[in-house]
Structure 1
Amino acid sequence: MNRYVKTALLAGAAWGALSTIAVAQDAPAQTEEAAANVGEVIVTARRRDEALKDVPISVSALGAERLEQTGAADITALQQQTPNATVQVARGSNSTLISFIRGVGQQDPLWGFEPGVGLYVDDVYVARPQGAVLDIYDVQRIEVLRGPQGSLYGRNTVGGAVKYVTSRLALDPELTLRGAYGSYNQIDLMASGSLPLADNFRVGGAVASFQRDGYGENLNTGAEHYNKDVLAGRLSAEWDLRDDVSLRFAYDRVQDDSNPRHGHREVAGVGPGAGSPDSVYDTYAGIGDENSVMNQGASATMEARLNNNLTFKSITAWREGDTDTVIDFDNTPAPTLDIPAYYADDQFTQEFQLLFDYDRIQGVVGFFYLDGHAEGAFDTIAGNLNLVIGTAGSVETESWAGFADVNLDLTDRLHLGLGARYTLDNKTATVFRANYATATRSPLLGGTPRAPTLIRTDYTASNDYDQFTPRIALSYDLTDDVTTYASYSRGFKSGGFDMRGDAIFTPDTVNGYEPETVDSYEIGLKGSLDRLSFAAAVFRNEYNDQQVTTQVPAVTGVASFVDNVGSSTITGAEFEGRLRILDNLHANFAVGYLDAQFDEFLRYNLTTRVYEDIADQVVLQNAPKWTGYLGLTWFGDVGGGELAVTPSVSYRDDYSMFEFPSPTLDQEAYALVDLSIVWIDPTDRYTVGLYGKNLTDEEYRVGAYNFPGALFNNSVVGYYGPPQTVTASLQVKF
């Protein structure tokens, strides 16, 4: 009960004070500086354009100007400025995305296992996390929706959703060139533009190259470690068939040939190259340095205004991805625990929306369909056992959903929001796992053809998962500029089958696992008070049938579980906004608080072969109690242009890498200090930027693998965020 009291006091104090001020004051006069106010920011969190103030959802919206002012390089920059969010590069990867919001997410990017935070690029759902660490270029804004979004966004948004909105094509010919050079021989080049071919038809696109030497070195092979080698591009065409009908075609592709990240050995092992390198970015890995990730997609969006009240929208999209990679879990030249792997996926999605806007009722009804395929294979090369465990499989997914979200203006100030979605998933999975003699690649990964010595798993199974996810919100406009709301929403993550499942260790794996759900209760207050734009919320999440992936060393290999372990309760509070201290000095801030506890955690005991409740021994991963951000931006006229100087600091409290705490791997609290200086000439043609990141050169882990013991030569490995860097950029518009 104590944690509920603490949460209520924290958020209640802020909410009470702000609402008192809001009711007591007259509506503030609008000034030019108020353009950043919550009430002026337009978002599409409810699938339609709305002022952020009017949306009864916790939403952080970062526009292109703010992203440039802070030097945001890729989508992981959201972690610093968004309360209670974890947005990181996955362990062993350069471009696989791992996201948690309010302690809910998923760090396992294996095919067939679904993320807990949905990613959308221009309203197109991106089902797989490979290649999803999107570099920020040609972007209009990024929205982070916190809390389950089951009614409007559906399955796999139990934690929330991230919406990446690209820039629309300009009506006039336009060309922008941008170049940057920085630490570790960083060279970024970008070109974007648009060209009208007729009064109603425009084409355009963007291409970007991101190159950087490694932060460290593979001391065994001499290759760069933590380098970057990415080529990305987008093409689009916009056609206004009539004043009330428009079409948009888009294509994007990312090719990432950065070297694999093998991590840093945190504990010394036995034998050559088994020490712990002095630099956290160095490794002695011996499996190799070849890695390739490709992700591409195309979409067609049609919008037709049927009359003054109705608009019909169709979003048709296709995506695919391929990954060939290697990860050396033991970080030594020997093949003690080496993992070569490949992943492949493709998806087709179709969404229809009918948006309506009448005098006192607004909303959307729609239908969503997904047809997805994901497959892969990997070897667990265990040199000390003189064998390789080969794993391969695939999963076919078909998903149908119908949804509606309606806002009713009960009075001029009182509004009722109702949402509902019904989703039906059908999944068919094939899983194969077998032991092969000798510690070399299996036939599954192109190794020497040979029969397995022991088949551990071999099955094909299907299952249906359906869920009704409602939402209800009641909001009240305290003034024309401040709104308070209370809401309930449910989200769910689909069930499935463990692609690593070992039917010898855990026979129940052939039955798969069930969906998980989050029921969220939230009260909030958002709006503008003269110089302050803000959003505050307090929430309680009830997390049930929680899916947790666990991998543990076993006598004859590695045992993997994906179980519905039980339930947890997550309570917390958030406060973010912008304060205009002076006309030329603004402060952006965000504070998040989490109190996350497992109520039940059922763990399969390999010895007794029964499930045991060990809730008192585990914690929620990636759920720091406190997160915070403070950035000050000073604006001034310099050299005839405008100069913006933004020093900032972000803070993350202690957090655990896994459900089972590990003093060696868990990350202690840390702060990152950044400084950005941006100058724009009077004609808005030239932009010069200087960006310093992690200026105190903080060393902090963002991921880990934990395979202690002699069998795997004490393979305890950490992955680290970027060190101190400085980058200079020049942008020219034509």
Structure 2
Amino acid sequence: MNRLMKSVLLAGAAWSAASTMVMAQDAVPQGEQTALDDIVVTARRRDEQLKDVPVAVSALSAERLEQTGAADITALQQQTPNATVQIARGSNSTLISFIRGVGQQDPLWGFEPGVGLYVDDVYIARPQGAVLDIYDVERIEVLRGPQGSLYGRNTVGGAIKYVTGRLDRDEAELTLKGAYGSYNQIDLLASGSLPISDTLRIGGAVASYDRDGYGRNLNTGAEHYDKDVLGGRLSVEWEPTDTTFFRLAYDVVEDNSNPRHGHREVAGTGADAGVPGSVYDTRAGAGDDNSVRTEGLSLTAEVVLNDTWTFKSITAYREGDTDTIIDFDNTPRPTLDIPAFYTDDQFTQEFQLQFDADRLQGVVGVYYLDGTAAGAFDTVAGNLGIVIGTAGSVQTKSLAVFGDVNIDISDRWHVSLGGRFTQDEKTGEVFRANYAGATRSPLTGGTVRAPTLLRTNYTRTDSYSQVSPKFTTSYDFSDQITGYASWSSGFKSGGFDMRGDAILTPNTVNGYDPETVEFFELGLKGSAFDRRLSFSTAVFNNQYEDQQVTTQVAAVGGIASFVDNVGSSTISGAEFEGAIFFSDNLTANFAVGYLDAQFDEFLRFNLTTQQFEDISSLVVLQNAPQYTGYLGLTWSGDVMGGELAVTPSISFRDDYSLFEFPNPLLDQEAYSLVDLSVVWTAPGDRYTLGLFGKNLTAEEYRVGGYTFPGAVFNDSQIGYYGPPRTVTASLQVKF
């Protein structure tokens, strides 16, 4: 099947090239189907038709997400070309994301993501609790490529925007939804809104997601890969005049699912270190308690000053706490157990001034962030008879000034100029020490005792500044076809290695520098053949410099961990996505991605020689499969007086490595996921019935891993897996 799917992707790419030769012509009058020029996005911080945005953007509407049975934000990976959106190793709600080979999978406090996540334009700085369940959403936008000028630091790979809609100002609404599925899955959702007056309305949603584990802890009997999540949102909207809008919103997510200890991929020493029969089973003995809570409050104000100018303010505060444990050796013994806790808070303020004159549109603004991320974790090394305790914090203050201006040179030719100046200041505190005894250290609540060896103890402040420019030109070949060329840059802030060991790697106290991406893209988007084809295609090249890579290796007396600016890489690729409207009843949605990603330089610190060595010939970019693809067919028609929509789909993901260092035990071979959704909506849209089958061919595929080979850690090679085959039925009622 994988060979067949790859052939389909190649054929799609060839069709893309052929299509562009015939589409640069005036199209015939519009048909009835939905096309790119019907979709409105805010990729450039203002409402625009998707066809007119000179950025590679995938926009999935609430209807599309519901139609395909998308449960949470990780569903974006299947339908978005060149994207990795996964649950992080060891957790149930921590997010890792890569776009076009650029991202960050290390969720430790102090490290910055490479793909920015936004909820209604509020930046979510930490990955904990960021696996957003899909409810109360209008659409999700995925912006591919660096978004430095408008979205700033830490969007070197791109940005994911979770957008909710405004409340209905005229009528009270209530929606109840329930679902039951495999592994005793029980999902309950209630959402609604209520007008208090002509200008004031209140709305909210609460959702509960419960499921038994896909596997079991064979040592303790606890569920493994279960789900126990409760989330909610509450918003108050006030619109005193037609030109003034305020929204006060609060959201909270509480995740009490058991920790994911992973699956031992190779047998170690001892009867309790064998390979469990199911990839979802473990023999971990570190414990089964895990708790994640994140919440936030935001105030958005929008004032239309006149026909040209609009002022917008976004004020937000967020905080989160995580208490977890991961058993890296997957045995009842404390060979390599990691208890940990994280805490973070952030305050952000953004002011925007949007303008729309005759031939001039754009936005200028100021952004401020003040945040702190802290935590502690133990490395309980039973075979060494010690525990290595690590603790610290990073305080970040960031100030940015940005602007993006679009100039209509003519009715068809447009030029966009943008830029952002960012100034970051970070203060890092890092503490690392050995304690006698293979039990928890005082840092995580263990027996109070003095350290036997102080490994790291410093406080340091550093600052980083960057100008991120952007230039784009676009041309409307017709009313339906737009082509564009874009050059831009982005940067991810520098910082301090929270695991840094000053004995093994003395330079860790100096921290690491920012990383940058210089980006060039050519694109063509629009519709053709009487709007029966809606498409977006792009080719791109990334020059990735000073990449921040975390590596951990076994060393005398423990584990050496270091974050280095390892060097540079070149990432080129192509994308083709869209929809084909075969008839009023049959539609195909497709997405094809191609990546050619290679390291040009990779400098690794040699613990023996205390020198950096270029090992670029030995490494690869992680989470960068050469091909990704999606094809979904939707048939819809009248059945029993209502509308029935049937959507079979297949998504493909080529071979990829979980780390920069290839590992045949953990690297994932190419795989395909086959899904089927059946949704029936009653007349009047009051009742909706759904049946959703996921991973119907029961593919077993890794989404994360850890590798600690050697006798000291009992050859711990641990894999984390995506969901097995599941079937879910749902009922939704609107009042």
CA pair 12-140 structure 1, distance change in 2 beyond 3 A = closer
Structure 1 residue aligned with 2:653: 652
CA pair 483-38 structure 1, distance change in 2 beyond 3 A = same
Q: Deviations over 1:292-321 (max 9, x none)?
A: 000000000000000001000000000000
Structure 2 residue aligned with 1:231: 230
Q: Deviations over 1:618-675 (max 9, x none)?
A: 0000000000000000011000000000000000000001000000100000000000
Matches within 5 A, 1:475-514: 475-514=474-513
How big is the shift at 1:12?
9.0
Q: Does 1:28 align with 2:28?
A: yes
Structure 2 residue aligned with 1:248: 247
How big is the shift at 1:590?
0.2
Distance 2:200 2:633 in 1: 42
Distance 1:372 1:125 in 2: 12
Structure 2 residue aligned with 1:728: 729
How big is the shift at 1:15?
5.8
Structure 1 residue aligned with 2:550: 549
Structure 2 residue aligned with 1:179: 178
Structure 2 residue aligned with 1:168: 166
Choose which of 89, 92, 103 in structure 2 pairs with 1:91.
Answer: 89
Distance 1:243 1:598 in 2: 54
Distance 1:388 1:581 in 2: 63
SS of the residue corresponding to residue 290 of structure 1 reads coil
* Matched AA of 2:564: D
Matches within 5 A, 1:86-235: 86-171=84-169, 172-235=171-234
Q: Deviations over 1:174-214 (max 9, x none)?
A: 00000000000000000000000000000010000000000
Q: Deviations over 1:692-719 (max 9, x none)?
A: 0000000000000000110100000000
* Matched AA of 2:98: F
How big is the shift at 1:121?
0.2
Say whether the 8 Å CA contact 1:11–1:573 is kept in structure 2.
Answer: no
Distance 2:406 2:318 in 1: 33
How big is the shift at 1:273?
1.5
Q: Deviations over 1:225-269 (max 9, x none)?
A: 000000000000100021111100100000000000000000101
Q: Does 1:537 align with 2:535?
A: no
Structure 2 residue aligned with 1:6: none
Q: Deviations over 1:349-395 (max 9, x none)?
A: 00000000011010000000000000000000000000000000000
SS of the residue corresponding to residue 61 of structure 1 reads strand
Structure 2 residue aligned with 1:603: 604
Structure 1 residue aligned with 2:56: 58
Say whether the 8 Å CA contact 2:538–2:576 is kept in structure 1.
Answer: yes
How big is the shift at 1:329?
0.2
Structure 1 residue aligned with 2:7: none
Distance 1:374 1:178 in 2: 36
Distance 2:519 2:221 in 1: 50
Matches within 5 A, 1:434-583: 434-529=433-528, 530=530, 531-583=532-584
Say whether the 8 Å CA contact 1:533–1:579 is kept in structure 2.
Answer: yes
* Matched AA of 1:655: Y
SS of the residue corresponding to residue 139 of structure 1 reads coil
How big is the shift at 1:30?
2.0
Say whether the 8 Å CA contact 2:154–2:492 is kept in structure 1.
Answer: yes
How big is the shift at 1:18?
2.9
Structure 1 residue aligned with 2:5: none
Q: Which runs of 5+ in 2 are unaligned?
A: 1-9
Structure 2 residue aligned with 1:591: 592
How big is the shift at 1:556?
1.0
* Matched AA of 2:133: D
Say whether the 8 Å CA contact 1:11–1:536 is kept in structure 2.
Answer: no
How big is the shift at 1:13?
5.7
Distance 2:435 2:32 in 1: 69
Q: Which moved more, 1:622-631 or 1:266-275?
A: 266-275
Structure 1 residue aligned with 2:617: 616
Structure 1 residue aligned with 2:298: 299
Q: Percent identity?
A: 74
Structure 1 residue aligned with 2:3: none
Say whether the 8 Å CA contact 2:215–2:225 is kept in structure 1.
Answer: yes
How big is the shift at 1:555?
1.9
Count of aligned pairs: 723
Structure 1 residue aligned with 2:683: 682
Distance 1:419 1:191 in 2: 42
Say whether the 8 Å CA contact 2:16–2:576 is kept in structure 1.
Answer: no
Choose which of 54, 66, 71 in structure 1 pairs with 2:69.
Answer: 71
How big is the shift at 1:16?
4.9
Distance 2:602 2:459 in 1: 28
Distance 2:572 2:523 in 1: 14
Say whether the 8 Å CA contact 1:22–1:479 is kept in structure 2.
Answer: no
Distance 2:20 2:277 in 1: 53
Distance 1:158 1:298 in 2: 26
Distance 2:270 2:375 in 1: 32
SS of the residue corresponding to residue 498 of structure 1 reads coil
Say whether the 8 Å CA contact 1:89–1:98 is kept in structure 2.
Answer: yes
SS of the residue corresponding to residue 138 of structure 2 reads strand
Superposition CA RMSD, Å: 1.0
Matches within 5 A, 1:628-707: 628-707=629-708
SS of the residue corresponding to residue 273 of structure 1 reads helix
* Matched AA of 2:350: E
Q: Deviations over 1:333-362 (max 9, x none)?
A: 000000000000000000000000011010
Matches within 5 A, 1:328-477: 328-477=327-476
Distance 2:384 2:406 in 1: 62
Say whether the 8 Å CA contact 1:388–1:435 is kept in structure 2.
Answer: yes
How big is the shift at 1:539?
0.2
* Matched AA of 1:140: E
* Matched AA of 1:190: L
* Matched AA of 1:241: P
How big is the shift at 1:169?
1.0
Q: Deviations over 1:102-145 (max 9, x none)?
A: 00000000000000000000000000000000000111000000
Structure 1 residue aligned with 2:314: 315
SS of the residue corresponding to residue 657 of structure 2 reads coil
Q: Deviations over 1:319-338 (max 9, x none)?
A: 00000000000000000000
Q: Deviations over 1:542-574 (max 9, x none)?
A: 000000000111121010010000000000000
SS of the residue corresponding to residue 221 of structure 1 reads coil
Distance 2:270 2:686 in 1: 59
* Matched AA of 2:76: L
Q: Which runs of 5+ in 1 are unaligned?
A: 1-8
Distance 1:335 1:168 in 2: 51
Structure 2 residue aligned with 1:44: 42
Distance 2:591 2:296 in 1: 34
* Matched AA of 2:618: Q
How big is the shift at 1:28?
2.9
Distance 1:725 1:82 in 2: 22
Say whether the 8 Å CA contact 1:10–1:573 is kept in structure 2.
Answer: no
Distance 2:11 2:660 in 1: 26
Distance 1:496 1:10 in 2: 44
Q: Which moved more, 1:151-160 or 1:269-278?
A: 269-278
How big is the shift at 1:10?
9.8
Distance 2:590 2:664 in 1: 31
Q: Deviations over 1:469-524 (max 9, x none)?
A: 00100100010011000010101000000000000110000000000000010000
Distance 2:308 2:271 in 1: 72
Say whether the 8 Å CA contact 2:13–2:576 is kept in structure 1.
Answer: no
How big is the shift at 1:27?
2.4
Say whether the 8 Å CA contact 1:286–1:333 is kept in structure 2.
Answer: yes
TM-score relative to the length of structure 1: 0.98
